[in-house]
Structure 1
């Protein structure tokens, strides 16, 4: 698990290689990642947008941007958290992701970026 804190917002990420959905011979590797966003600040915040940078050993950098996360723009009161699971397909068994969330403080409408720490995606392939 990797963790980063920005302005009182903690982001934790856990990655799992999905061997049963992957086809290494076809250069198709599937990973899921579970993200937990915890509001450790004193202000209510809302997640507005996300930006991901995805790279692997087989291709160049891919950038994904959009509103919210998995179709949601959660609002977090102080002490609350939001967890979601998403996935990523790579052409190699080794990659990494990082990015940020654009958040807004509800009280004054101030927008700020929260770092999503870089995390590794490594296919664990077992041979008999």
Structure 2
């Protein structure tokens, strides 16, 4: 029996974390919620994460700084970035550093669902 994929949500906005938790669970996946990049980095089980949904602008480490840290460590899961503050420079940096995609908030649920499926498929080879 295959293991249910785990999607990490890293966002400082409690309401967004809860909404994404509901969406992820409705799709049959497991979710792990983190209020900061630092909380994610401190998690002992982060190797189990199949993909991540990450806010760009957060107090402390930003989403891009989290991405850079994970890139230095190697073996990071696909990252789906979301941002309320879209700018092409930030988007370009995230994608060049290996982000799966970069979405503007508010994110269309159908687009996010499609990107999560694609990211999980990329990390596991198939669903």
More helix by share: 2
Larger Rg: 1
TM-score range, shorter chain: under 0.3
More strand by share: 1
TM-score, length of structure 1 as denominator length: 0.25
Q: Which has the bigger relative contact order, CA under 8 A and spacing at least 6?
A: 1
TM-score, length of structure 2 as denominator length: 0.25
